[in-house]
Amino acid sequence: MVLDTYEDFKVKFYKYTGLDLNCYKEAQMKRRIESFLSKKNCSGYAEFMRMLEDDRKLCDEFTTYLTINVSEFYRNPNQWSILETVVIPELIKNNSSGSIKIWSAACSTGDEPYTLAMVFNEMCPRGNFEIIATDIDMDIIRVAKKGRYSERSIKGLPNKYIDKYFSRNLDGEYIISDRLKQFVTFKQHNLLSDRFPSDVDLVVCRNVLIYFTEDAKDMIYRNMYKSLKKDGVLFIGSTEQIMGSRDYGLQPLRSFFYRKF
């Protein structure tokens, strides 16, 4: 008899893709998967797993759907204001290496790392910073590298950045300038299994960990602590907070910002 349960699917899907669904909140993840199955007129997990194995394009589409790629430029402006007025000046003051290293984790379509590049380029005019932008979804990384966005994507971005760092094509898309792209390196990365970057001044990981279990978040926060330099800063999303942050070697700096001590 062919078993057809969510537990069986998680095991088979992990073996096939390396994506561990045990680390995501179960009720939330099951709703998303079952919605996808319904759209594909699929009767159950076993049949769906066979479909994924037979169709790599479908598997890539499903992975993109699961990893919840939602992003926009300058999301939550008040937080970006704190980054500009409080956090970046401190990072510059405390930096002794001459170059600031930023990691945009789970960067989705690139809105966040390009926003970071704009902000840092205004405050570090000699370009003494670098941004590593990572995501688990290779298709989304390919989109991010192109740097093409709709008017809706940039609706919250201050005009000073739009005027300076974008051009428009005949289709009405906003195109990131090549001189800004040079500051951002995109890489595939799995927060649950891959080695984290080291000696980072600023880690930006926003509105992502809300989808993970408490055990998975615990592991990720501990790895982010190791990733940061002393006095480095972790910037999280407006829907998140780190309970017991000092247990991870992190102390609140401002709302949604934590400094490594």
Tens digit of each residue's pLDDT, the chain (261 residues): 455 899 999 999 999 998 899 988 899 899 989 999 999 999 899 999 999 999 999 998 898 888 766 678 998 999 999 999 999 999 999 887 789 999 999 999 999 999 999 999 999 978 899 999 999 999 899 999 999 999 989 999 999 999 999 999 999 999 999 999 999 999 999 999 999 999 999 999 998 898 899 999 999 999 999 999 999 999 999 889 999 999 999 999 999 999 999
- The predicted pLDDT at position 68 comes to 67
Cβ burial of 34 (10 Å; 0-12, 13-18, 19+) is middle
Query: Do the strands 250-254 and 257-260 form a parallel or antiparallel pair, or are they unpaired?
Result: antiparallel
Given a contact cutoff of 8 angstroms between Cβ atoms, the answer to whether 118 and 180 are in contact is yes
Tokens representing 80?
Answer: 């970006």
pTM (2 decimals)?
0.84
Residue with tokens 């992003």: 71
The pLDDT score that the predictor gives to residue 1 is 42
**Alpha-carbon gap, residue 26 to 260, rounded angstroms:** 31
Q: What gap in Å lies between CA 20 and CA 13, rounded to an integer?
A: 8
- DSSP track, 111-156: HHHHHHHHHHHHH-TT--EEEEEEES-HHHHHHHHHTEE-TTTTTT
| CA distances in angstroms from 102 to 134, 196, 259, listed in the order given | 11, 12, 14
